[in-house]
Structure 1
Amino acid sequence: MSVVTRIAPSPTGDPHVGTAYIGLFNHTLARQQGGTFILRIEDTDRGRYVESSEQRIFQMMQWLGLTPDESPLQGGENGPYRQSERFDLYGDYARQLVQSGHAYYAFETPEELAALREAAQKEGRVIAVPSRDLDPAAAQARADAGEAAVIRLKVPREGETVVNDRLRDPIHFQNRDIDDKVLLKADGFPTYHLANVVDDRLMGVTHVVRAEEWITSTPIHVLLYQAFGWNEPVWAHMPLLRNADKSKISKRKNPTSVEWYQQQGFVPEAMLNFLATMGWTHPDGLEVFDLAEFQRVFRLEDVTLGGPVFSLDKLRWYNGKYLREVLGEDEVARRLHAHLAGQKVELPLDDYFRAVARLMTPRMDVFSEFLDKTPYFWREDYPVTEKAQAAIDAGRDLLPELAARLKNLPTFDPVSIKAAFTTYAEEKGLKLGKVMPPVRAAVAGTLESPDLPDLLATLGRERVAARVERAAR
């Protein structure tokens, strides 16, 4: 059997990290099995539809490198891939269920439904819809005459519906506790349940890998598959991403928009690596691994259900590892420059920029930290911290001679600069801890900066001498 997976986000707002998370696992399962990964846009909820959201979903998937085989952009033999463009399909399938006796026309008004729902809640049962017991021929005649009606699934009143989830023991739902869900609204729009099942079937989806919040909807989907006489897909409900307090991840406690992480300067490889560890552990205990390695060793059965914590600190740690240990200096400089350009910061991608990037990579976890930590590399009106000013004041008597020695070095490289400080300290009977901080404070305005000889060599002889002389006045 060829594996076909999909993600089906709704374009209702910011592209969510949960969509990226589920997309990663679906993409990986399809790739490792030589199957097909589909991106479908579920846009039938027109009340919540956000026009720009669809394009932002495409951009998120492109940024992450989770390229679908079929989508509204790529096309494919199972299109169209927007539910709004598949509108006529759903009514035909809903009416097919009416004809087979697995669904019925329901004519209750909103006011009648509200009263029925209130009564059901008081009695602790599901709502009983009177239209269910209408003569089918009479109901059909009323619908054909144009009377407003929805189509509801006719859930069996006896027995149970079992969801066989690949990650769990079988989940048993008593049919008496399942509502007769609306499948087709009076305006002809399908509900999520009908459109989702019909599209998965027609697109050949074999594995439905989605978040566990959909478990309670799955018995409806199982009943629909049974009503149509279709084989069910493999169900696998992934654990929800959680905040540190184990609540469902939300933007009130954690940024949830993938665009926020892009703007902060996270790299997609780190994001994917981090998301891969949400509910899954590498069999060899590796923490840092790329997408190809994930595809090589991943098994759906190894997903655990403990409620993975989406920790921003951990994601920053991953990002820092990628900047310092995985991507390489040239790639980091290129991506950092692209990030700054995206933030409307114009700096040339030259040897000086690359040198600054190389110095700062050990001192940042995300690209958004770069400018705040490096004002002294780009301008002369850089801020001076209180501690730096204190260091300048304490070493003011040393600065004129140190400026002269640095200015007169035969070669201005890190080795020569370090030797000059060492020699000066020995001559004066001082420790380097007394000699170097005033210079660092003078040239950078802070005591938190890269290794001083490297810093001075990168700034250059003239700029260093001028700054130290200025501080000595």
Structure 2
Amino acid sequence: MTASSSNLASTPRLRVAPSPTGDPHVGTAYMSLFNLAFARHEGGSFVLRIEDTDRARFRADSEEQIFATLRWLGLAWDEGPDVGGPYAPYRQSERLDTYRPYVEKLLADGHAYYCWCSAERLAQMRAEQQASKSSVTGYDRLCLGKTREERAELPGFTPTPVVRMRIPDDAPLVFDDLIRGETKAPPPDDQVIFKADGFPTYHLAVVVDDHEMGITHVVRGEEWISSTPKHLLLYRWLGLPEPRFAHMPLLRNTDKSKISKRKNPAARLTWFQQEGYLPEALVNFLALLAYPPITEEGPEGSVEREVFSFEEFAQHFDWSKVNPVGPIFDLGKLDWLNGLYIRELEVKELAARLLPFLVEAGVLPPRPSLGELGRLEEVTALIQPRLTHLTKAADQVRPYFVADDELVIDPDARAQLKENAAQVLDAAIQRLEALPDRQGDLVTGDGRGWEHENIQAQLRAALVDELGLKPKFAFAPLRTAISGARVSPPLFESMEILGRHSSLARLRALRASL
């Protein structure tokens, strides 16, 4: 047993401690965000610890996913397995020698005892309790006060014991919570704190590690409220200073159920990357789930602002503002925020963020040419105003990089063509063939070149003025010919980007197919 943190630090030290048992849960980011915001607000430290004592569910690749997704969100930690720190190691599996002295002290002081009950015996005990609808549940203390030899004479014995807490009748059930104020938890049972495989359970490990690492504030989900009495007992039995507790509201589905990876793909943190969300939008969204908009004073009084950066969130952070009611995970709100953030990006930055998705979709090669990158920026400027997900860009961008003779016309786009589509295309082709394949002189006002303003003027004259068509019907066949789709980015700007040759080739191709 060490005394590395006999007194709590003068500046806050907070931690997040995910388990590497699969794709990181969105709750890991949610907890990290609020821990980090308070740490930065107070000038404290934020620690990442890996709680990998559940060896049955351990996945080797999960730890790296935790690192990668939190870094993607910009939620940087000051200490952790990958960056080190004064309280290393930061993986529980590398700290096994740390826990045993604490267990021995609890055993010696009578606060814990060995339990030799087999898994089968425990399952039978629970089944009997449920069948009898007993008000008393949990371990029945068959092993309490018995030696190994005495217990071996009874049924359901296993030679390798676990260690259980001996919960007193006067266990502390009420504690002060930074979010909820005075909080009451249900009475605990004799919890296993040390397993037969030599690994501690969560309850012992979290108390020991938080003490040894000087953690001053334990911020976690409200599902851990029922465990807090166990942890308070361990702190007191071991003579350790107690941290402050803050139990965050659980994230919930629209049906009010707890969000889980089994039932909701959005519970997986990697899903948000795959779906093309911006990390800054997701951070903003997670903050709003349990925190009000930022209030600012304007000329007409107080104004609420829902769009804010992490730095602003940390600057205004206050535990008293956290809403303890479980928030609904509304992806519609996230989509709205994501669209706002996309529209705020510089075109060059947005094009760079789109590039990996376009390469994955086969729209662009892994190493695009300078010409392709230049065209991508032009196209990005067109699609930016209506883009909500980075993944939705591929179908809109593809027509600008496909060969004219390989452009596929969507069946639904072809089906909506009117009977006069051939007449419209003939008139458009005839008018556009008269335009030169060069830009007009913008200085002298000569607008006879292949600019979108002139393309629009010429087509409007030919189709709207001369044929008497409404713009909605006049330009629909052209849109289909140019993009292959019924809905596309702005038509005339698209034709300018594609150029005269490609634009006319696509118009002629659709005309020939009618």
TM-score (norm 2): 0.85
1:354 to 371, 377, 389: 377
- Once the two structures are superposed, the pairs formed by residues 10-409 of structure 1 within 5 Å of their partners are 10-118=19-127, 120-121=129-130, 122=132, 123-126=134-137, 127-134=139-146, 148-158=160-170, 160-173=172-185, 177-251=187-261, 252-284=263-295, 285-324=304-343, 326-341=344-359, 345-347=363-365, 348=368, 350-379=373-402, 380=404, 381-391=407-417, 393-409=419-435
Decide whether aligned partners of structure 1 residues 412 and 389 sit closer, same or farther in structure 2, where only a CA change above 3 A counts. farther
**What CA distance in whole angstroms lies between the structure 1 residues aligned with 2:172 and 2:355?**
59
1:183 deviates by: 1.2
SS of the residue aligned with 2:117? coil
Matched, 1:468 2:507: yes
Q: What letter is aligned with 2:95?
A: R
Decide whether aligned partners of structure 1 residues 231 and 464 sit closer, same or farther in structure 2, where only a CA change above 3 A counts. same
Q: What letter is aligned with 2:426?
A: P
SS of the residue aligned with 1:235? strand
Q: Where does the alignment leave 5 or more consecutive residues of structure 1 unmatched?
A: 140-145
SS of the residue aligned with 1:309? coil
**What CA distance in whole angstroms lies between the structure 2 residues aligned with 1:41 and 1:270?**
26
1:71–1:81 Cα contact (<8 Å) kept? yes
Match for residue 142 of structure 1? none
**What CA distance in whole angstroms lies between the structure 1 residues aligned with 2:392 and 2:238?**
55
1:172 deviates by: 2.8
1:385–1:445 Cα contact (<8 Å) kept? no
Task: Decide which structure has greater helix share.
Answer: 1
**What CA distance in whole angstroms lies between the structure 2 residues aligned with 1:117 and 1:53?**
33
SS of the residue aligned with 1:78? coil
1:368 deviates by: 1.1
Decide whether aligned partners of structure 1 residues 408 and 110 sit closer, same or farther in structure 2, where only a CA change above 3 A counts. same
2:461 to 400, 408, 423: 423
1:344 deviates by: 5.9
2:188–2:226 Cα contact (<8 Å) kept? no
1:388–1:442 Cα contact (<8 Å) kept? no
1:293 deviates by: 1.0
TM-score (norm 1): 0.92
**What CA distance in whole angstroms lies between the structure 1 residues aligned with 2:204 and 2:418?**
72
**What CA distance in whole angstroms lies between the structure 1 residues aligned with 2:54 and 2:188?**
23
2:116–2:160 Cα contact (<8 Å) kept? yes
**What CA distance in whole angstroms lies between the structure 2 residues aligned with 1:135 and 1:459?**
85
SS of the residue aligned with 1:304? coil
SS of the residue aligned with 1:90? helix
Q: Give me the identity figure in percent.
A: 41
Task: Give a deviation string over 1:201-221, Cα, whole Å, max 9, x none.
Answer: 101111111111111111111
Q: What letter is aligned with 1:408?
A: A
Q: What letter is aligned with 2:85?
A: G
Task: Give a deviation string over 1:97-131, Cα, whole Å, max 9, x none.
Answer: 11222222333344544455455553321433133
SS of the residue aligned with 1:396? helix
2:188–2:227 Cα contact (<8 Å) kept? no
1:395–1:434 Cα contact (<8 Å) kept? no
Q: Where does the alignment leave 5 or more consecutive residues of structure 2 unmatched?
A: 1-9, 152-157, 296-303, 436-447
Decide whether aligned partners of structure 1 residues 153 and 471 sit closer, same or farther in structure 2, where only a CA change above 3 A counts. same
Between the two proteins, the alignment pairs up a number of residues equal to: 463
- Once the two structures are superposed, the pairs formed by residues 453-464 of structure 1 within 5 Å of their partners are 453-464=492-503
1:160–1:172 Cα contact (<8 Å) kept? no
SS of the residue aligned with 2:305? coil
Decide whether aligned partners of structure 1 residues 116 and 444 sit closer, same or farther in structure 2, where only a CA change above 3 A counts. closer
Decide whether aligned partners of structure 1 residues 188 and 159 sit closer, same or farther in structure 2, where only a CA change above 3 A counts. closer
1:423 deviates by: 2.2
Moved more, 239-248 or 339-348: 339-348
Alignment RMSD (CA, Å): 2.3
